[in-house]
């Protein structure tokens, strides 16, 4: 009994404070978490609407899509169906990630309704060298992906960037970053496209 | 009556100013280096980080000062840490809710405010020994000094690294940005040179 | 073989490519403070390695097995810092009992490891990098400690020589150390792209 009362006498402040702080955190979290979740959704919507301008709403795909990441691990991917105001499917979007030059590169990729052409990509997060690898965010690199076939793309060092085909011209001085983006996009588009077709989700909404 | 009021007012002003220059946490006390180097690539994140630190410093100093007579000596660091961690969590939640872009740019450095030496040192050295008002003023002074330092460093780095300040183009068209400034190299070297400058100005020897 | 290569890549990534001190700016305070002599630097590096491996693994377990399944992610920071403080206490008691001379030479630095950004930073990075295997987390934590030790020993070696160089008075001490660290980080940038 003595030991317990000694223990309590020494640490009552700690226990009371822990309760109080825990309560404070819980209240703040409860108050702010709807907003935080909404922010995440807004961000994704904002980025994809830049790629698929007609999209008004994003519906998550029901079945589970599991692909093998570039590093070889099985990861679950959330695929979203972009629908216009009249409920018609205008495209699909999903996140894709992979190793870049410095760190991980995270992209959001959008493809057209038939999963045949890539609508484009946007960089969610990357840590590439400013002025070099960072150029993957620039329009002249990203535009090459718009309308490219939704299959395995190839990186070339010389070529015509305005020609839209499965060849992507690398950024001069940033070959590794360009290669990383091409691989991430190809990898995810081919695998997810395969699974979507397999599960018959694609066929569903061709009205 | 007036004389003692004047003296207290002077003491408060001195405490406030100390945090800004004489005991500037980054330049003189060499505390809080980690966020200084990490978030100062541009002025906006630096300013946001500074404001977060002011918030946490203020709240923690207030709570610690209110608790100062109840603290048991061997548990006090634990209490400080718990207090600071709570307020940093709250600040992080607010940032994620209201400034999501800033939250992304600052990334993992917001929770690192918990181990920012400045806050624990001020709690230990000042708030646990002084009444409420002095602790508050000390927190404000230190926080402002820290924010100012961050902004100065960020201004230099952003200006030379991208030609903009606060995302407004300032440098002329012909200026080629020094990409190195946006990278760790620029951070270390700029801080080192600024520290050297401060040392020279204050005549400090080693 | 696959697991081994993933582990190895994770290890090298944390030691060289994403060195905590030189690319992520973590652990600067003790870095500036203790890198005066090589033996102290090495000792500090070892202590940090031990603590960071222990806390990295522990916090990963707590994060993935308790906090996330129960949705208590908001308490992450509080839990992490408490675990780290506990781990540092443990290491302190251990060293005081078995290596008292080492304990004396450390002085204030050992409890200061708690406020070492590198440790909390690594625990948070383990979450950010979405490390999903316990062994991977343990290897990366260990790698972080080794990277820190390496950076601090290199710096200590350079500083020992700098003492004899003609550094201007206003730059002596912290400023020249920071500038040296900047040059070191530039050198370490050469390791980028090692990981594919």
Tens of pLDDT, residues A135-157: 888 888 888 888 888 778 888 88
Note the pLDDT of residue C176: 85
Please, what is the average pLDDT of chain B? 82
pLDDT per residue as tens digits for the range C1-35: 577 887 888 788 888 877 878 888 888 777 777 76
Report the range of poorest mean pLDDT among A158-167, C64-73, C87-96, C139-148.
A158-167
pLDDT per residue as tens digits for the range B122-132: 888 887 788 88
**Neighboring chain A residues of C18 at a CB cutoff of 8 Å:** 103
Q: Which of B152, B142, B143 is nearest to B195 (CA)?
A: B152
Look at residue A33 and tell me if it is in a domain.
no
- Asked whether residue B39 carries a pLDDT value surpassing 80, the answer given is yes
Look at residue A15 and tell me if it is in a domain.
no
Note the pLDDT of residue A205: 47
Note the pLDDT of residue B88: 92
Count of domains forming chain A: 1
Pick the residue with more confidence: A124 or B166?
A: A124
Instruction: For A120, list phi and psi in degrees, rounded to 5.
Output: 140, 180
Highest mean pLDDT: which range of A171-185, B82-96, B181-195? B82-96
What ranges make up the beta strands (E) of B27-120? none
**CB of C2 less than 8 A from some CB of A:** yes
CB pairs under 8 A between B and C: 133
Pick the residue with more confidence: C57 or B162?
A: C57
Mean pLDDT, residues A112-139 taken together = 80
Note the pLDDT of residue C193: 65
User: Which ipTM value was assigned to this complex?
Assistant: 0.80
Are the C-beta atoms of C78 and B82 separated by less than 8 Å? yes
- Asked whether residue B172 carries a pLDDT value surpassing 80, the answer given is no
What distance, in Å, lies between the first and last C-alpha atoms of chain C? 16
pLDDT per residue as tens digits for the range A45-97: 888 888 888 777 788 877 777 777 776 677 777 888 888 878 788 888 888 88
Q: How confident is the model at residue B56 (pLDDT cuts 50, 70, 90)?
A: very high
If you measure CA to CA, which chain A residue comes closest to C10? A71
CA distance A37 to C2: 36
- Asked whether residue C46 carries a pLDDT value surpassing 80, the answer given is yes
Mark yes or no for CB contact B115/C174 under 8 Å: no
Q: What torsion do the CA atoms of A11, A17, A22, A27 make, to the nearest 10 degrees?
A: 160
Note the pLDDT of residue A202: 67
- Asked whether residue A131 carries a pLDDT value surpassing 80, the answer given is no
**Neighboring chain C residues of A25 at a CB cutoff of 8 Å:** 74-75, 78
Touching A (3+ Cβ pairs <8 A), the chains are B, C
Mean pLDDT, residues B89-96 taken together = 90
Mean pLDDT, residues C102-130 taken together = 77
Residue recorded with tokens 């002249």: A140
The first and second tokens of residue B118, run together, are: 């400045």
Q: How confident is the model at residue A102 (pLDDT cuts 50, 70, 90)?
A: low
**CB of C8 less than 8 A from some CB of A:** no
**Neighboring chain B residues of C175 at a CB cutoff of 8 Å:** 192-193, 195-196, 199
Chain-centroid distance of CA C112 in Å reads 13
Q: Which long-range contacts (CB under 8 A, 24 or more apart) does A82-90 make?
A: A82/A48, A82/A52, A82/A54, A82/A55, A82/A57, A82/A58, A82/A110, A83/A55, A83/A56, A83/A57, A83/A58, A83/A59, A84/A54, A84/A55, A84/A56, A85/A56, A88/A205, A88/A207, A89/A113, A89/A205, A90/A52, A90/A54, A90/A55
Share of chain A above pLDDT 70, in %: 93
Q: How confident is the model at residue B3 (pLDDT cuts 50, 70, 90)?
A: low
Using CB atoms, pick whichever of B33, B37, B193 lies closest to residue C175. Answer: B193
Look at residue A173 and tell me if it is in a domain.
yes
The first and second tokens of residue B84, run together, are: 């600071």
Mark yes or no for CB contact B97/A18 under 8 Å: no
Note the pLDDT of residue B2: 58
Chain-centroid distance of CA C53 in Å reads 9
Q: Which domain holds residue A61?
A: 57-204
Please, what is the average pLDDT of chain C? 82
Mean pLDDT, residues B35-48 taken together = 86
Q: How far is CA A48 from CA A34, A119, A173, B77, in A?
A: 21, 10, 28, 47
Report the range of poorest mean pLDDT among A123-132, A177-186, B153-162, C39-48.
A123-132
**CB of B77 less than 8 A from some CB of A:** no
Q: Which of C64, C34, C62 is nearest to C48 (CA)?
A: C34
Note the pLDDT of residue B55: 92
Mean pLDDT, residues B199-206 taken together = 67
């Amino acid at each position: 009994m003595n030991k317990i009362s000694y223990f309590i006498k020494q640490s009552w402040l700690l226990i009371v404070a822990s309760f109080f702080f825990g309560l404070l955190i819980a209240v703040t979290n409860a108050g702010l978490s709807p907003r935080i979740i909404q922010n995440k959704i807004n961000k994704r919507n904002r980025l994809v609407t830049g790629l698929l301008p007609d999209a008004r709403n994003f519906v998550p795909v029901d079945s589970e899509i599991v692909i093998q990441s570039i590093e070889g691990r099985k990861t679950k991917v959330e695929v979203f169906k972009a629908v216009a105001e009249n409920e018609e499917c205008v495209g699909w979007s999903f996140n894709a990630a992979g190793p870049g030059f410095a760190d991980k590169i995270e992209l959001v990729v959008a493809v057209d309704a038939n999963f045949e052409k890539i609508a484009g990509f946007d960089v969610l997060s990357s840590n590439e060298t400013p002025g070099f690898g960072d150029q993957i965010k620039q329009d002249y690199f990203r535009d090459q992906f718009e309308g490219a076939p939704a299959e395995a793309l190839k990186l070339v060092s010389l070529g015509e960037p305005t020609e839209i085909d499965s060849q992507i011209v690398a950024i001069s001085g940033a070959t590794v970053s360009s290669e990383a983006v091409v691989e991430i996009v190809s990898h995810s588009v081919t695998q997810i496209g395969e699974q979507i077709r397999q599960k018959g989700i694609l066929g569903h909404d061709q009205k | 009556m007036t004389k003692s009021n004047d003296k207290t007012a002077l003491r408060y002003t001195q405490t406030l100013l100390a945090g800004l220059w004489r005991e500037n946490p980054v330049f003189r006390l060499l505390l809080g280096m980690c966020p200084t180097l990490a978030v100062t690539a541009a002025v906006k994140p630096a300013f946001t980080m500074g404001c977060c630190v002011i918030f946490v410093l203020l709240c923690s100093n207030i709570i610690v000062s209110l608790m100062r007579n109840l603290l048991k000596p061997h548990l006090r660091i634990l209490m400080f840490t718990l207090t600071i961690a709570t307020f940093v969590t709250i600040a992080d939640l607010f940032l994620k809710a209201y400034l999501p872009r800033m939250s992304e740019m600052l990334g993992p450095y917001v929770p690192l405010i918990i181990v920012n030496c400045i806050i624990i040192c001020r709690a230990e050295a000042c708030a646990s020994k002084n009444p409420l008002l002095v602790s508050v003023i000390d927190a404000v002074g230190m926080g402002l000094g820290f924010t100012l330092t961050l902004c100065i460093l960020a201004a230099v780095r952003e200006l030379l690294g991208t030609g903009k300040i606060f995302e407004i183009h300032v440098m002329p068209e012909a200026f080629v940005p020094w990409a190195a400034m946006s990278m760790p190299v620029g951070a270390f070297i700029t801080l080192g040179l600024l520290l050297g400058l401060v040392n020279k100005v204050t005549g400090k020897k080693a | 073989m696959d697991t081994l290569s993933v582990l190895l890549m994770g290890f090298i990534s944390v030691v060289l490519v994403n060195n905590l001190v030189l690319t992520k700016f973590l652990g600067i305070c003790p870095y500036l403070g203790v890198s005066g002599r090589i033996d102290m630097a090495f000792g500090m590096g070892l202590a940090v390695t031990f603590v960071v491996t222990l806390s990295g693994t522990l916090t990963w377990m707590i994060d993935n097995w308790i906090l996330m399944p129960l949705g208590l992610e908001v308490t992450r920071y509080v839990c992490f810092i408490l675990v780290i403080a506990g781990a540092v206490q443990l290491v302190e008691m251990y060293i005081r009992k078995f290596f008292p001379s080492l304990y004396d030479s450390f002085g204030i630095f050992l409890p200061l490891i708690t406020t070492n950004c590198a440790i909390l930073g690594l625990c948070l990075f383990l979450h950010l990098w979405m490390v999903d295997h316990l062994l991977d987390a343990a290897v990366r934590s260990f790698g972080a400690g080794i990277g820190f030790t390496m950076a601090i020993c290199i710096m200590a070696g350079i500083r020992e020589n700098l003492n004899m160089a003609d550094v201007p008075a206003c730059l002596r001490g912290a400023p020249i150390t920071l500038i040296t660290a900047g040059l070191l980080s530039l050198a370490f940038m050469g390791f980028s792209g090692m990981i594919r």
